[in-house]
Amino acid sequence: MSYTCHVVHTNLRASESWYFDSGCSRHMSGNKNNLGDISPRSTCFVSFGDRGRGQVKGVGKLICLGHPKLDNVLFVKGLTSPLINISQLCDQGFKVIFNISECLVTDDENNIHMRGERSKDDCYLWIPREESKICEACQLICSR
């Protein structure tokens, strides 16, 4: 089995920053320590945008405290920046809305479950709730 991952953003060092990605085939992480209930996979690969390949070593659930609840996350050897797949979020019943500065993942009642912020390199980076609340509080203070 082969998956396709068209990574537009390349990070040369390992990162715990999760990127929203509409071009990757599944949620994926290169850090096995963040995943639980891993089912091993063999002879599976993802293809990166630079024509490189990474071996899929397993699939599991994201269990890292403070991170979004993500199931069916591929553990990909060599992946330096974890990716959140937009299609998988939509399959879970979420709406994903992008605008010039942010990305919002909402449910049918418009409750925000995840938020991303557009970075200088035009990628949308997931913002943990704690940081998001701090940013919102700063904006309220600054706008007074």
Question: How are beta strands 124-127 and 112-118 bridged, if at all?
Answer: antiparallel
Answer yes or no: are the C-beta atoms of 80 and 11 closer than 8 Å. Answer: yes
- The single residue listed with the structure tokens 């990166």 is 48
Give the chain's radius of gyration (CA, Å). 16
Q: How confident is the model at residue 48 (pLDDT cuts 50, 70, 90)?
A: confident
Domain holding 102: CATH number?
2.40.70
- pLDDT tens-digit series, residues 3-30: 555 444 444 444 578 999 988 889 999 9
Q: Please give the share of the chain, as a percent, with pLDDT higher than 90.
A: 43
pLDDT of 138 over the 50 cut: no
Rounded to an integer, the average pLDDT of 63-92 is 88
Q: How confident is the model at residue 57 (pLDDT cuts 50, 70, 90)?
A: very high
* Domain total in the chain: 1
The answer to pTM > 0.85 is no
